[in-house]
Structure 1
Amino acid sequence: MAFHEIRFPANLSFGSVGGPERRTEIVALSNGYEERNTPWAHSRRRYDAGLGLRSLDDLADLIAFFEARAGQMHGFRWKDWADFKSCAPSGTPAMDDQILGHGDGVTQVFQLRKAYLSGPASYVRPIAKPVRGTVLVAIAGDAMREAVDWTLDYARGALTFHAAPGAGAEITAGYEFDVPVRFDADRIAVSVASFQAGGMPDVPVLEVRV
């Protein structure tokens, strides 16, 4: 599958419904207890793009985007308005938002990631689609400059330092990011009459692994 490095129109994704999905396998035992397991290390997000449409012009923009992606054929970027920053939704990304790792004097490449913390548990999500112009990076609290000290693969989220950070040095970053997705149907069905009256088409969007 090809991936188009283009974002679904943000004004159309605003108001959409969606979020993370997990897959849990549950086996009920004869004694009433359960065994629970999951084959997924990472969650997968689903959205409904149809709920963000407000006019027939919005519908035309959606159809143009859908046709240019050839339905489910090509992936694209999606802005999840509920979760698109390395910090809290009300905050501004800062260079110390997320810890990417610690230097060892040898490693030069670090993956962008975001940690989700709740009580004693946590989940670390790889970030593959950072947004250009929003990424801030620091080593041991000292700001690093893009192109001078580091480069970033904006299609994979891999951060490469020109010189390996020293042993024990904490690497941190802040950024905005998109979700890599595709349409989860090869068909868009809408009635113009019902749309004008407030009816919305069902346009499922599904996160893809990249």
Structure 2
Amino acid sequence: MTTGAFHDIRFPAAISFGSTGGPERRTEIVTLSSGHEVRNTPWAHARRRYNAGLGLRRLDDVHEVLSFFEARRGRLFGFRWKDWTDWKSCPPSAAISAADQRLGTGDGTASVFQLARSYGLGAAEYIRPVTRPVAGSVRVAADGVELAEGADFAVDTATGLVTFATTPASGAVLTCGFAFDVPVRFDTDTLEINLAAFEAGEIPAIPVVELRA
């Protein structure tokens, strides 16, 4: 069976709503003889981890996750995950707009740009590539004028690449807005669910981990 494949299907969003998790960073710290620290990281991007088990509320939820797990063959196939704490290009209370994020600046040659979401400001700003936008959610503008998907640009929902029908002019400011999922896989090949314990309030651990592009 082919490894590394991805199923373009979202984990049940109603269940992921009750999950826990978030970004994980890896920082290497060396303490010098003087007591000072040297800190570095081998990771350019965070990796997110979640526990889907905490979203289970009913036996029907258990059945739904069991079916989803089997269809993914455990850890074999990746899938989409909606991270309810960070799933769109704007704050949770705001509506997605074409001015939410920077997409790039036209140079008169490039016609393909990567969707990305920024965190922080100035020198501390972190740019996170977005590879799994939600179909139909992407909005794009050039110099503040919103464009039409299909006629003016196309979006690859498997990579997050935006391709313009007409190459943006040099100096054109390109912006975008979107909803997005996280590409993940189960981080276990075994589901241990005791129904008696579940009904008594014991929640099973179902680890999920982000896939690197």
Shared fold, TM over 0.5: yes
Which residue is 2:63 aligned to? 60
CA deviation vs aligned residue, 1:77-114 (integer Å, no higher than 9, x gap):
00000000100011111000000110011100000000
Residues 5/141 of structure 1: CA separation in 2 closer, same or farther (3 Å cut):
same
1:194 maps to 2:197: yes
State the identity %: 57
Which residue is 2:157 aligned to? 154
Equivalent of 1:7, from 10, 27, 33? 10
1:167 maps to 2:134: no
Which residue is 1:41 aligned to? 44
Distance (Å, rounded) in 1 between the aligned partners of 2:191 and 2:27: 30
Secondary structure of 1:72's aligned partner: coil
Deviation, structure 1 residue 25: 0.6
Higher strand residue share: 1
Count, aligned residues: 210
Q: CA RMSD in A?
A: 0.9
Secondary structure of 2:125's aligned partner: strand
Please identify runs of 4+ aligned residues in structure 1 that moved more than 6 A: none
Secondary structure of 2:79's aligned partner: strand
Distance (Å, rounded) in 2 between the aligned partners of 1:13 and 1:67: 17
Which residue is 1:71 aligned to? 74
Deviation, structure 1 residue 134: 1.0
Distance (Å, rounded) in 2 between the aligned partners of 1:157 and 1:135: 10
Which residue is 1:101 aligned to? 104
Secondary structure of 1:130's aligned partner: coil
Distance (Å, rounded) in 2 between the aligned partners of 1:119 and 1:153: 29
CA deviation vs aligned residue, 1:36-87 (integer Å, no higher than 9, x gap):
1101000000000000000110000000000000000000000000000100
Which residue is 2:129 aligned to? 126
Secondary structure of 1:36's aligned partner: strand
**Structure 1 portions without partners, runs of 5+:** none
Which residue is 1:141 aligned to? 144
Residues 74/53 of structure 1: CA separation in 2 closer, same or farther (3 Å cut):
same
Distance (Å, rounded) in 2 between the aligned partners of 1:119 and 1:107: 26
Deviation, structure 1 residue 120: 4.9
Secondary structure of 2:96's aligned partner: coil
Distance (Å, rounded) in 2 between the aligned partners of 1:123 and 1:182: 24
Distance (Å, rounded) in 2 between the aligned partners of 1:18 and 1:119: 27
